[in-house]
Structure 1
Amino acid sequence: MAKTGRIKDRYYLMSLGCSKNTVDSESMAQLLENAGMRAADDPTRAEVLIVNTCGFIGPAKEESINSLNELAALKQPNQYLIAAGCLSQRYGDTLAHEVPGLDGIIGTRRWMDIVDLVQRIRTRRHPEPLYHLPSDAETVGKDERGATRISIQGASAYLKIADGCRRPCAFCAIPAIKGTAVSRPIEAIVNEARLLRDNGVQEIILIAQDSTDYGRDRGEPNSLPQLLSALCRRTPDDLRWVRL
């Protein structure tokens, strides 16, 4: 991978998978920029290369591993490659065997520690990848470090209202990847909806692993109707659509 120009303090972030992963990528990018880093649209111009992976089904796993291996094969000595997201959370340290050249692995439950991981990688004293998959970490949704949970897509935007799932279905890996359900406070969601409208968004799409379960983890089974009512009452009239 031939480098041109200054790459230090620049990051390249590839987001794979669903809209919920897209929001996580936007939140990580926000934290990196708050720490003084800047985005690059070309991996040759970035110090830190991040792939926010998907690992829910076989083809998604294959795409994620291929993307990581492509970057690893071209990576220069002063560049660092990090695997984030569902594949990292689901397969943990076995991922390093499939992708030689990884410098860091961070899961879905502590994406908000991305800046800390980058700093640790920069100062490490050994070539082995650093893992950030704490088994005792609070699940996603409880500690977002001030990052918004949105992704603007033109006149529409995704807004994440919860993460995780309380239903341990035998056919589904989401609870193992994301942890149990954690609903975000109504006030935080309404504030982000207002921010989106101030930025020209006309349609907000509320997303979660299980949107209909919103609020039940807090013992509030009527939270979803209350959230929708609050959005209708407290956002500008020219916000035209709210979708689930």
Structure 2
Amino acid sequence: MDSHLAEGGRSSDFECTINPDEPPDLIVNWKQGKPWGVEVTRAYQQVQQIGNKGISSSEEVSAYLRKFGGELRELTKQIRRRDCSLYLEIPGPFNSWKRSVPTKQWKEETQGRILRHISSGESSILRFPGGNLRPGAPGRRWFFMIGGPATELTSTITAMLSRSLTDKARRLEHWKERFEQCWLLILNCYPLADDSVEIESILRQIAPSDARLAGFDGVLWSGFPDRTLLRISLS
């Protein structure tokens, strides 16, 4: 079943189709048996939100920092007399530099420091909470890079999987019909989560911790970059 779902959802035993009246996202119709419902989600590394105590995916925070980096490039275009390399870091549990700093305040203070440093023509490195600016040779080129947060792998994967499970578990009560079994297909978007044995162990630890998760019979894990599905029973 797993390989066929990854390759298009058809075999001699079942057919997997997109549900036009979701949730759930997919329906697996078995030729010998009752249909299964399958929810689908992407799993991202969870990181501290910028400026408050919430948690976001690394994709959301990266988008915020990319936008800020683009704004700084435009703001400094007319005053840059040296090539500049800007590095901004995604906040995480081991580099909590912005947990108590409001987003607007951090952004305004960082922008002010960078503008003053570039305007002065300084060639020294400017270090600030959440990154650094490295002036280079005379010129106007702009280089920009975002770095991932420092992390402890097992706790990071646990947080990621827990978020995926609980988010989709909330949808179970809204499913439009009952199914023989309910599964969650997780598409992994975190390259460091590549040990299938560890993934299975963590999922089995998480499942008993929340009564809502009892609604899932199991998880279909789609790794990165190998998308071959691993079936993990939770019942």
* TM value normalised by structure 2: 0.34
Q: For the pair shown, which has the larger CA radius of gyration, 1 or 2?
A: 2
- Larger relative helix fraction: 1
- Larger relative strand fraction: 2
